[in-house]
Amino acid sequence: MKGTELNLYDLFPRFDSQSKTFRILILSSLVSVLFLMMVVEPTPVLAQEQVSLDWKVHDVGKVRQVITNHGALWRGATNYPGLLYSEFPPGSFEEHIGEAGIWIGDVTADGDTLVSVADSWSSPFEFYPTGAPWDTVWVVEQGDTVNIPYLKEDQYTALSDQDFIARYNDYGSASVQVSNHNPLFLEVIERSYAWSSPPLNEFILFRYDVISQENDLDSAYVNFFMDANVGYRTTGWDFALDDYSTFNAETHTGYGRDAEGGPDGNAVSPIANRLYPPESVDENTLDWRFAWYPGQGVGGVPGRDAQRFKNMSSGVIQSDQQRPIGSQYSITFGPVDIAEGDTMTFYMAQVFGEGDDDVENNLELADFVIRKDFRLPTAPPAPDVTINTRNRAIDLSWETNAEDFQDPNRSDSAEKPFEGYRVYKSTESRSGPWTLLAEFDIEGNKFGQNTGLSHEFTDEGLMNNVEYYYAVTSFSKPDTVLDFPSQETSPRSGAIEVTPGTEPPDNVGDVAVVPNPYRGDLDYNAMSPPWERPPETRERWLEQDRRIQFIHLPERCTIKIYTLSGRLVETLEHNDPQRGFENWNLTSNVNQAVASGIYLFTVRDQETGDTQTGKFVIIK
């Protein structure tokens, strides 16, 4: 997040021949372990005040995409902790991006051939934000209006359900420390847009404003580089080694595709990237370039500026990749002019779908959004939800101004397009899958179920001390003139984790352990709701996800766990005025998984000094 330090990974070149497989082969050599730790695991080298590295994840629609504030569409130089960078559909663990980012190149008036790179195999990162507090990733959601200091607009209003805005440059204190980097003195303002409702929730649109700060650029070329890793994400890179790249020269769209079968099976969706040059330029007068790179030690992305620019400006459309050994490609257009102090704006669509036909339909929708200049019907504001937990039940209530929402982008002139609310529950995660519990909509019209509006809901019959996820959304009437469907806020963006249960008792005396016995032959992760679950950034259950629970705990107490012989295994401190339980992951105080056996426990109430003892059984 904000304040992350730059690292050695940013300063070491990534060689032309380097690919994901190349990294794995290096890792297998014990002699190279130290070197690989330096390259793959970042080590801070620059002062924090020089850059304010940040990341955010688009998550309102069906695409979960990592965005950084230095132009990389993966973790890049940030401390993003997740495993996936571009997941579609949500919860599938299907990855689509290994690395991605823009390049911009030009031959300067002095005859220097320069290319500035946001991301590439063969180069360090060359764009960075400043250390200013506003040079993070701004999040502006539908209905929000904010003041972003570096934008020309006095007030910025969201165009989609989730706008991200970031600024970075190629000439600041971090960029000038990059070896062999000579800046073009460019500033880039990147905006990305995501929607929560069909038909717009299967793609993300990007707007890039490129400002030339010191030079007149009269032969600039713009390139988008994509290392497309498509398939079911595992801990290694095998899933990415059966991909290939194709290109539609008519629509200027590149595709990263997964071959059928292989270690990752069949992917749901390719990843498609379409470039839209500046409106002032006839795209048919530009030179377009498509190139793919095999990696695997066979050939890679150019690493020097002169070779990069020659490659970008060649106007050669390479034939589609035939052998599926990894998908890495670049799409380029140019030349375009950027006078000193002027801004060049171009767009990119990143598109997914349930198969090729769906992807093509979504590409047409992306074209439609850009032609409409983002003036499309939107969802009403999301409700502000309050939750009260009880014994085996939860109460939801919500407040909102959604019912007075007005939308100037509708074609049906509906004065108040709000239609209703929906209540969802998931037993698995904030990402769903979601179960619709209730729908409340305006009575007496031709839309919805005409159930009548409500601002509260109760869900009963729940398990105590187990996590559930709830969301309340707002949705609109369809725009019948534009033939545009009802728009709804995202359940994921408003999801709240809730744990029903009883309040802590006044004293010890009824403390118990569940389950008792704990049985290692039972799949607690498969229960509904799951008793044990991995974190949302990891799909597979691991040993550290085991759980037993001490219940009926007073507000402040100390739990000590012993073997039958009296050896102390672990100490747990409980301090919670709402939850009368504490979890233990069956790991000792020296981080070792405990063995099968009978265990003793004591619970000492910190307020009264009273102590309760008990025992439980673990069978693995």
Question: Same CATH fold, 512-619 and 384-498?
Answer: yes
- Tens digits of per-residue pLDDT, 44-83? 344 445 899 999 999 999 999 999 999 999 999 999 998 8
The domain made up of 384-498 is a member of CATH 2.60.40.10: yes
In the prediction, which pLDDT does 297 show?
67
Question: Which residues in the chain land under pLDDT 70?
Answer: 1-49, 296-297
Q: What pLDDT does residue 162 have? A: 95
Distance (Å, whole) CA 84 – CA 63:
11
| CA gap 599, 581 in Å, rounded | 18
Label the pairing between strands 64-68 and 55-58. antiparallel
Predicted pLDDT of residue 150:
96
- What pLDDT sits at residue 47? 41
Of the candidate CATH numbers 2.20.28.10, 3.30.1360.70, 2.60.40.4070, 3.10.105.10, the domain formed by 512-619 belongs to 2.60.40.4070
Burial degree of 476 (CB within 10 A; 0-12, 13-18, 19+): buried
Angle at 531 between CA 527 and CA 537, to 5 degrees: 100
Helical pair 33-40 and 20-27, crossing angle rounded to 10 deg: 140
**pTM confidence score:** 0.81
What are the residue ranges spanned by the domains of the chain? 8-349, 384-498, 512-619
Q: What is the pLDDT of residue 299?
A: 76
- Specify the pLDDT at position 4: 38
Contact 538, 82 (CB under 8 A): no
Joined tokens for residue 386 = 């309050």
According to CATH, the topology of domain 8-349 is Beta-galactosidase; Chain A, domain 5 (2.70.98)
Calpha distance 248→333 (Å, rounded): 14
Nearest to 119 by CA among 274, 301, 255: 301
